[in-house]
């Protein structure tokens, strides 16, 4: 496992931007308007809840770097469970890891996922590069479509594997923008598509967190039998509000995260 946080996040970022060219462009647009670096609020990772690759296996990479468990979240309709992790260093990016509750899905989906995970080498999950290792399998396009019909989340994982599903701009740390709505206006003016599910701005000051995101880039994937252009990853934007004690809220809002998941929907 990585011995330092900066190296891990740099590798995750390099891997993410390779399939999310819009993130690189947005990063440049925001960076050009201010004299400070863009700060990452959090990343998100996806997995299946099978023992070999479950949420806790991914979290171990961050716990080894000093992260601590935060809140947990349930997404019943999407059959997902998630936890977030924080570092004692408040400048460190948070980590949001979700997993598909495979046993709640159809026998057909369970069978496909079992076959995919069986192809992950036993020692791969603890390797330095596992969190940005992509797929350890090849699926054909029909299998991807079959998964997509039942679970967009499962289909995305089958196509893209292990990598950051999104990075997140910390709006609190931007010099020239102070609201998520302002960021959305900028994005639309620059030709990006903003996720409108649940409204362009998800959350509220009362919930202590506001979020928005682009819709995922569409990138080419080499399936076993053909190549196809499908949704990859997206860029998120988050503004946190102070708790009664004055410190910024560091958790997540399940109702908002539920809509953020839809940034990778193929039909949107």
Instruction: Report CA Rg, the chain.
Output: 18
Distant-in-sequence, close-in-space partners of 246: CB < 8 Å, separation ≥ 6: none
Tens digits of per-residue pLDDT, 197-223? 999 999 999 999 999 999 999 999 999
Q: What is the pTM of this model?
A: 0.96
pLDDT at res. 266: 75
Domains of the chain: 5-264 (3.10.180.50)
For residue 143, count other CB atoms closer than 10 A to its CB: 20
Asked if residues 43 and 9 have their Cβ atoms less than 8 Å apart, the reply is yes
Reply yes or no on whether the pLDDT at 268 is more than 50. no
Reply yes or no on whether the pLDDT at 53 is more than 90. yes
Looking from the CA of 89 toward its CB, the CA atoms found within 13 Å total 9
Tens digits of per-residue pLDDT, 157-166? 999 999 999 9
Site of tokens 């299998």: 143
Alpha-carbon gap, residue 68 to 87, rounded angstroms: 6
pLDDT tier at 1, thresholds 50, 70, 90: low
């Amino acid at each position: 496992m990585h011995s330092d946080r900066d190296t891990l996040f740099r590798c995750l970022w390099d891997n993410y931007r390779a399939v999310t060219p819009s993130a690189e462009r947005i990063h440049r647009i925001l960076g050009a308007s201010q004299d400070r670096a863009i700060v990452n609020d959090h990343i998100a990772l996806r997995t299946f809840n099978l023992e070999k690759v479950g949420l806790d296996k991914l979290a171990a990479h961050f716990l080894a770097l000093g992260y601590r468990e935060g809140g947990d979240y349930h997404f019943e309709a999407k059959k997902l469970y998630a936890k977030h992790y924080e570092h004692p260093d408040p400048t460190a990016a948070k980590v949001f890891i979700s997993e598909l509750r495979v046993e709640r899905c159809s026998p057909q989906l369970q069978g496909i996922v079992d076959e995919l995970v069986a192809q992950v080498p036993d020692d791969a999950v603890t390797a330095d590069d596992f969190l940005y290792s992509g797929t350890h399998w090849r699926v054909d396009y029909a299998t991807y479509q079959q998964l997509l019909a039942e679970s967009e989340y499962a289909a995305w994982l089958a196509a893209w594997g292990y990598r950051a599903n999104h990075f997140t701009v910390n709006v609190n740390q931007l010099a020239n923008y102070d609201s998520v709505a302002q960021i959305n206006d900028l994005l639309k003016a620059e030709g990006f598509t903003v996720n409108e599910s649940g409204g362009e701005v998800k959350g509220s000051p009362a919930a202590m967190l506001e979020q928005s995101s682009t819709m995922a880039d569409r990138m080419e994937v080499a399936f076993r039998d053909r190549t196809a252009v499908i949704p990859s990853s997206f860029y998120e934007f988050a503004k946190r509000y102070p708790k009664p004690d004055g410190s910024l809220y560091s958790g997540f809002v399940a109702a908002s995260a539920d809509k953020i998941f839809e940034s990778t929907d193929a039909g949107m």
